[in-house]
Amino acid sequence: MELLQKIGSVLLTAYSILIAYRIVFYIAGFFTKAKIYPTARKNHTYGIVIAARNEERVIGNLLDSIALQDYDHSLLRVFVVADNCVDGTARICREKGAVVYERHDPEKARKGWALEWLFENIRRDYGIESVDAYLFFDADNLLARDFITQLDRAFDQCGDIVVGYRNTKNFDTNFISAAYGIHFYDATMTMHRPRCFFRQSTHIAGTGCAVASRLLKDGWHWTCLTEDTQLCLTAISQGVKIDFCEAAEFFDEQPYSVDVMVRQRLRWAKGRLACFFLLFPKLLRGIFTCRKRRFSCYDMFFYILPYSLISALASILYAAAMFLSRLLTAEVPLAVLSAPFAAVPGLLSALAVSWLGTVAEGAVVVLRERRHIRCGTGRLILYVLLWPVFALTGVPVSIVSLFMRVKWKPIRHDRDISLAELETVGR
């Protein structure tokens, strides 16, 4: 047991040293300002890609926000894959001028597969490289009026992949939607902004990003449960730059019920774990061979490494082994059996410390991102106090996902909010 403790201590120390650079990123994310990109040397052509399943409640608002963009609309073409829809999604999109492909394949009902099929159709009918880049959105998204203009400036400088500023359109629905919002604000402050400041690659978070068409010339081939993470890690391992444009703001709808939250986070956990086992060899190789993005490969390796899950499983196994050892060697077995109950005060104390630390982290995040948050101060304070419910359940969800067969299921979106209404709330 002493040997196991020493090994665990050495591994923890080594891990802490290897990710110590994140302290600098954290400080930079709080204090640095958004990068300002110069006016683009030319306006690029974009294919706007939307994968939708039964989204008639919200997709019209997204298409309306695209129509309100202050960008040259002759340079834009909207492609929608209506994936296994049984509602009016396809009809609404056609009425609003989108190119719609209707897909019916219930055996392969997943966003990654829908995008793969869509790009096969784009290749056949238009040519994938007929535009400079593709913008990816979910049906529940809304775009600020200058989103494409601002993203185009960053894409003109980067030329590979650019992600925008992810905001939440229903932050104040309840503490669950608020927790998601804080989670994504935290990603902006601790990941996107500092990596942009230090000219390193950031990560892709599902939607609101531009991908150069040359990177997709062979089609879309990222079809796991978390296709965004799969694309991100593949791109970085190949030396592709993923930049961040804070001025390009878009909004999405967050879950607000417990069952949907659990289902989505199980998919995230399972998908990220699959991506780790699939792509960590390429990231490790990239650390030594990728001249342009060695540090980004290093950074993304530790981003995807399931250290918390590994640590939690190791702790459980160690505790079980120690308990059995004492049970087999104890002269008074009943005393050993009562040991777990004696540990309860210590566990509660550790939970309280973790809770307060997470609250403090959330408070720092909302303080930094306050101007983006559409919520009254009183409710915001309450949501920060409850944020640990979301943040601290990540590890248990990951453990549960190991023993479950997780399927991709669409998240129902029903917040019928237009861009004009969102802008009114923001003022």
pLDDT tens for the chain, 427 residues long, are 667 677 778 888 898 999 999 999 999 999 999 999 999 999 999 999 999 999 999 999 999 999 999 999 999 999 999 999 999 999 999 999 999 999 999 888 899 999 999 999 999 999 999 999 999 999 999 999 999 999 999 999 999 999 999 999 999 999 999 999 999 999 999 999 999 999 999 999 889 999 999 999 999 999 999 999 999 999 999 999 999 999 999 999 999 999 889 899 999 999 999 999 999 999 999 999 887 789 999 999 999 999 888 877 777 776 676 666 666 665 555 555 555 555 567 677 878 888 899 999 999 999 999 999 999 999 999 999 999 998 888 888 888 888 888 877 777 777 778 888 888 865 4
Largest CA distance in the chain: 83
Q: What angle do CA 204, 283, 164 make, to 5 degrees?
A: 15
* pTM of the full structure: 0.90
Tokens of 79: 């492609």
What is the rounded CA–CA span in Å between residue 304 and residue 325? Answer: 34
Domain borders along the chain are 32-304
Strands of 99-103's sheet in order across: 99-103, 76-83, 46-52, 133-138, 209-212, 161-168, 242-252, 142-143
- To which CATH superfamily is domain 32-304 assigned? Spore Coat Polysaccharide Biosynthesis Protein SpsA; Chain A (3.90.550.10)
What is the rounded CA–CA span in Å between residue 301 and residue 275? Answer: 11
Contact present, 235 and 215 (Cβ < 8 Å): yes
For 44-64, give one letter per residue: b (16+ CB within 10 A) or e: bebbbbbbbbbbbbbbbbbbe
What is the rounded CA–CA span in Å between residue 155 and residue 212? Answer: 8
Q: Are strands 161-168 and 209-212 parallel, antiparallel or unpaired?
A: antiparallel
Other C-beta atoms closer than 10 Å to the C-beta of 282 total 17
